[in-house]
Structure 1
Amino acid sequence: MWCSIIAVFAFSATILVHPSTAFTVVSTTSKSDGSNELDQLASKIEQIEHNIQTIQKVSENQNHASVKSRFPKNCKEIQTNGNTISGVYTVQPEFAPKPFLVLCNMDSHGGGWTYFMNRFNGNQDFFRRWNDYKTGFGNLNDEFWLGLDYLHFLTGYEVNELLIELEDWDSKKVYARYDAFSVGNEGEGYIMRILGNYSGTAGESLSYHGGMKFTTTDRDNDLWRDGNCAVYRSAGWWYNNCVGSHLTGKYIKEKSSADAYTVMFWNTLRGAYNIKVAKMMVKPK
């Protein structure tokens, strides 16, 4: 075997590899003498083996990328691909490490919306700590909070629109739509870093929270100097000092202004009166 290998290296040779791989190209030239020739040859063979292993890793990564691309990035892409029925689907945004399930709204305002919050019966308690809001809670077939990590993967790398649908206890249905919306990552406190122009019928009650980090009972990122808004208002939210809207507040199963601003409310919709239904959704512009 060594004889055959030496025979190969009796000629000038170059091993070419994919330009994206970060390893050395081996080039050899024959020698007529020298006691270290076999040592040099062994070293070059070792480098070749290393290059082969690197190529294999690149191939594995490319295969992984092709598997990853099998999933649509969001509900808008699902709709574009021809699925127009609202329901639960699997998505994987470009920078998400793994796929996850989402609820898609294919009917409202052109469809293609990905829910990140759905409330309509009070089955879920939203008085929760940071990790719950980070990873999500509830049931996609019932009430839920998708999770701030997932919301960041959906909105953090491309600007989305935000749609909020509300219904009060007099069965009045309204909506608020913002033409740009983006949430940062955990290191940024899941800051609402972009909130665009409002349109709709609900009235504008979210801009007070634009630019704010998310606050929970165990992670105080608000601007209220006298305490923690999440403790005082009984839920996590993008508090300022403290609220202009509060869609994660207490769910009261009747028309009431009890508990004032701890309830689920939208300030321009009957002030502090609690809301019956609140849905928050995003889709790429």
Structure 2
Amino acid sequence: MRSPAVFCWLTLAFLLSGTGQAEKQQAAVISQGTDCTQIKAVSPRASSGVYVIQPPGVKAPFKVYCEMRQDGGWTVFQRRSGGALSFNRNWAEYANGFGSLRHEHWLGLKKVYALTKNRAKKWILRIDLWDHEGGTAFAQYQNFRLGHGKAAYKLHVGKYSGTAGDAIRGAYRGNDQNGFGFSTVDRDNDGCSPCIFGDISQRECTFTDSGGWWYSNCGSASLNGDWHPAGNHMGWGSGLHWRTWKSRAPYSLMATRMMIKSV
């Protein structure tokens, strides 16, 4: 007669043999923490890489790239470094995410909302920028969060600090993107009705800026447009723009990274 332990092991093996591949993979996905900040706090020597997280109130865990720095663990939700991955995507793709977590990607508005909706935590948004001449700059915002999908994932940022300038609030008056919903080519939530630039009238910012972003009168910040290589990165309406840092006519950046940390 088999022992109870052997019987339980055989029963488990039988059950697993009858499950589908998707169920096995789901069973194998075990949360490593609620967010990258918490993972770093528990394991100070944790290295940067892909981790599985499950924010409070979220039913299914999901993978993110954690940038582990001396000041804590940061959850990366946007990375640009070339033109291999197109960011000209529709609403559903920006909501759900696309790309490769270890390379260029957009994590997804749904996941960023899931992270930031818990008001028990406050979040810092950090935006890292690289130009084509070897220069770097950053912008950091306190009290970052996104609104619900029904409110078009409205952007909320607090106090700014950094070296890149506060492009979200605008290089000039009337360009404040804070408090606006996300727009894509098939879902217009910008502040244009229409926007007026000199003698040019424009109804949708995605028409010239492309990609998806929190547009307001189009604005001074837009990091999801077309990527342009060195020597071909000046003068494009669509590009990776942060006009409080690179105000020349307009300048498309070489690389960007957006990430958040809980405090």
Moved over 2 A (4+): 68-71, 255-261
Matching residue of 2:238: 262
Question: What is the distance in 1 between the residues matched to 2:231 and 2:167?
Answer: 20
Q: In the alignment, is residue 185 of structure 1 matched against residue 185 of structure 2?
A: no
The CA deviation string for residues 154-194 of structure 1, in whole angstroms up to 9 with x for no partner, is 112232100011110011011111111000121111001x2
My pick for the range that moved more, 86-95 or 155-164, is 155-164
Instruction: Supply the distance in 2 between the matched residues of 1:70 and 1:252 (Cα, whole angstroms).
Output: 38
Partner of 1:220: 188
What does residue 67 of structure 2 align with?
Answer: 105
Task: Give the residue type in structure 2 aligned to 1:114.
Answer: T
The equivalent of 2:257 in structure 1 is 279
User: Is residue 203 of structure 2 the alignment partner of residue 240 of structure 1?
Assistant: no
Query: Deviation at 1:70?
Result: 5.1
Q: Could you list the runs of 5+ residues in structure 1 that have no partner in the other structure?
A: 1-67
- Tell me the distance in 1 between the aligned counterparts of 2:255 and 2:118: 29
CA displacement at 1:260 relative to structure 2: 2.8
Which residue number corresponds to residue 86 of structure 1?
48
Given that 2:208 and 2:237 are in contact with CA atoms closer than 8 Å, whether structure 1 keeps it comes out as no
Paired residues for 1:1-285 under 5 Å: 71-82=32-43, 83-107=45-69, 110-158=71-119, 159-192=122-155, 194-207=156-169, 208-226=176-194, 227-271=203-247, 272-285=250-263
Tell me how far apart the structure 2 counterparts of residues 70 and 254 of structure 1 sit (CA, whole Å). 41
Larger radius of gyration: 1
Aligned to 1:55: none
In the alignment, the residues of structure 2 paired with residue 93 and residue 230 of structure 1 have an alpha-carbon distance, to the nearest angstrom, of 31
* TM-score normalised by L of structure 1: 0.72
TM-score (norm: length of structure 2): 0.78
- The answer to whether the Cα contact below 8 Å between 2:32 and 2:39 also exists between their aligned partners in 1 is no
Q: Higher relative contact order by CA 8 Å / sep ≥ 6: 1 or 2?
A: 2
- Preserved contact between residue 31 and residue 61 of structure 2 (Cα < 8 Å): no
Equivalenced residues, count: 217
CA distance in 2, matches of 1:69, 1:284: 21
Q: Match for 2:128: what amino acid?
A: E
User: Unaligned regions of 5+ residues in structure 2, if any?
Assistant: 1-28, 170-175, 195-202
Question: Retained in 2: the 8 A contact 1:256–1:273?
Answer: no
CA RMSD of the aligned region, Å? 1.8
